Chains A and B, each alone.
Chain A
């Protein structure tokens, strides 16, 4: 696009899929510096790290997790709307188990709670996976069922109340510190790293992309698409469940109504900003992490500047529109046509533009 960048390395950097998300994140962070001069300051207090950038990572940890699961689902050309409900159900189940246990602070109780939450997540993910992969329901609709019913189930578990618990080991997951860092950051970092390794060092990532890019062709070359797609929904549910544990552990309470509310939309947004195509067929784990951080930084910025937090939605709307327009081949073709003007030779129009020609009334 720009003619100034001629050196090969500069071109390689700007062409990188992570370039634009990274620029946006950097711009947002620098913008914060203008409002709060000590934005990047990190203090060490009682052996714990404190600071705005740590806060962004800390509060963004559940979103990063959910977005990771969502990335793989979207890579196969699907979508998972039920993650918000899974977050609520996982938190509710864990807190319910801990609040009823004889000794809420014992390690056994906490591991039991985590086990119950994760096992339920596997069950929910399998339900989604079976509906999408075996029954062949569109992913939006299949996961919509759990999104609608899941909130009800979460409230059923908590009996419509907010369950509060006091359990030191459970508190560690979302609110505790380990090696001076919030444990939640380390946990999501680990999951992100494992996901990246698993998909990029093995053929798994490529298989997922091929299923998303062309399901028929990948079946013909012998990829077991059905099993892969099913697995992806289980992974997404598991990520959401861990995020649910984190959210409930951070506030030491389970709220069936509000835990993970709208997180599915934020996660989709993060994935899209990170350069993963909603049509499936290509994904970027690094991009998703950057995308989740952009969204969290946006929320934090809105809080620190003092704009009513609810208006973040307006900003998010514009981000979604901008990112989608940039991803749209039609939009690019139109901008390129206008930008190139008349002096350059007429480039053959992409085949897609012919489909939107309106033919008579």
Chain B
């Protein structure tokens, strides 16, 4: 029985192992193939360019772990950039007030979606789809055009480079890594984190065990809303503009990162650090394609689709054998 338990544990790690091997071999292949690929800065650029995706994917991990899905993240990111740009540029509000307001808005939006999903037992997919329509639509009621941001504190955030020896990172990377660290602690070392896993494993059992199912479910969507809003804030630092067409399809990238990171889409099993690896894999695909130069950008989508396919079938094989 002990051996079996050990085997089951190892089997649960397979996707994570595959992702790690993939990441290392992709980086090695890139380094062999292209000049200037093998450098610390290329790795750090992965984080700089994908800081907002990382934050959004962390939120998505919580939702997927409960067996749900949040399709509204891309739209909430866009809405956050739009509201930030609108309030800061056209109404002259101070960024220190705007940023907490945007974060609060995202959290509240996520909480409401979670509440609707739980109270009325509607599929998460359709509720967050409505949230996605609403958030994208609200962007356009603010403005159809892109609003660029010239506020000095935003440009400072965009241009600041934090040196690490010869290399550098941006403040957004620090924020994103802080979010990852916080989420890691919450998910793996708190009662709430265990509730999340229990809920994803079996909602019925969680309820019978007396776990606060309703509160956990709404909180998980609120976390995802918060992460999306924070991702939006980071994207404004990166893009220096608010636009309703920002982050189109981001929800798919976030889901892909979570899946490639080894979290089961049926919920109940997965690791937060896997999501970090997943984001890095997605970033590396883009980097390799831009280094290659001759490949067009749409290859990114095809490769991501192919990877998704491999990992989903892999997940399926693992869960099928476990039964």
Contacts and interface: CB of A to CB of B under 8 A. Distances in A.
Give the most central of B118, B212, B309: most A CB within 10 Å. Answer: B309
B305 A148 contact: yes
Contacts of A310: 136-137, 139-140, 144, 244
Given A145-B312, A150-B305, A330 B121 contact: yes
Interface residues of B, number: 54
Chain A interface size range: 35 or more
B77 interface: no
B308 A148 contact: yes
Interface stretch (A29-37, A221-229, A313-321): A313-321
A131 B312 CA distance: 10
A359 B137 contact: no
Contacts of A144: 252, 255, 308
Contact of B316 (A137, A317, A356): A137
A141 interface: yes
A171 interface: no
B123 A278 contact: yes
B252 A356 contact: no
B97 interface: no
A115 interface: no
Contact of A148 (B69, B119, B211, B301): B301
23 contacts: A131-B312, A138-B266, A140-B69, A142-B312, A145-B305, A145-B312, A148-B252, A156-B298, A160-B298, A265-B129, A278-B126, A279-B123, A308-B141, A310-B144, A314-B134, A314-B137, A318-B134, A320-B126, A321-B127, A324-B120, A355-B207, A358-B215, A360-B210
Question: Which 9 A-B pairs have CB atoms at the shortest separation, nearest pair first?
Answer: A149-B305, A313-B137, A314-B137, A152-B301, A310-B140, A317-B134, A317-B133, A152-B302, A155-B298
Interface in A121-155: 131, 135-138, 140-142, 144-153, 155
B120 A152 contact: no
B100 interface: no
A135 B305 contact: no
Contact of B304 (A137, A142, A149): A149
A320 B126 CA distance: 8
Contacts of B134: 313-314, 317-318
Interface string A326-361: 011111000000000000000000001001101111
Given A137-B312, A141-B312, A356-B214, A313 B136 contact: yes
A324 B136 contact: no
Given A272-B126, A310-B139, A317-B134, 18 more contacts: A136-B320, A144-B252, A148-B249, A149-B304, A152-B298, A156-B299, A160-B298, A268-B129, A310-B137, A311-B141, A313-B134, A313-B140, A314-B137, A315-B137, A317-B137, A320-B126, A355-B207, A360-B210
Nearest to B309: A145
Give the most central of B125, B129, B244, B266: most A CB within 10 Å. Answer: B129
A324 B122 contact: yes
Nearest to B252: A148
B237 to A, nearest CB: 25
A310 B134 CA distance: 11
B316 A359 contact: no
A347 to B, nearest CB: 19
A138 B120 CA distance: 22
A144 B132 CA distance: 16
Give the most central of B122, B133, B139: most A CB within 10 Å. Answer: B133
Given A278-B126, A359-B212, A312 B302 contact: no
B130 A360 contact: no
Contacts of A313: 133-134, 136-137, 140
A217 B254 CA distance: 36
B300 interface: yes
Give the most central of A138, A145, A151, A160: most B CB within 10 Å. Answer: A145
A360 B210 CA distance: 6
Contacts of B137: 310-317
B121 A317 contact: no
Contacts of A146: 305
Contact of A352 (B121, B249, B312): B121
Interface of A: 79, 131, 135-138, 140-142, 144-153, 155-156, 159-160, 256, 265, 268, 272, 278-279, 308, 310-318, 320-321, 324-325, 327-331, 352, 355-356, 358-361
Interface in B80-139: 116, 118-123, 125-127, 129-134, 136-139
A159 B298 CA distance: 9
A138 B211 CA distance: 27
A142 B311 CA distance: 11
Given A151-B301, A152-B302, A145 B308 contact: yes
B288 interface: no
B57 interface: no
A322 to B, nearest CB: 9
B214 A331 contact: no
A161 to B, nearest CB: 11
Contacts of A140: 69, 125
B133 A316 contact: yes
B2 interface: no
Interface in B243-275: 244, 249, 252, 255-256, 259, 265-266
Contact of A330 (B120, B304, B308): B120
B316 to A, nearest CB: 6
B196 to A, nearest CB: 15
Given A160-B298, A314-B138, A324 B210 contact: no
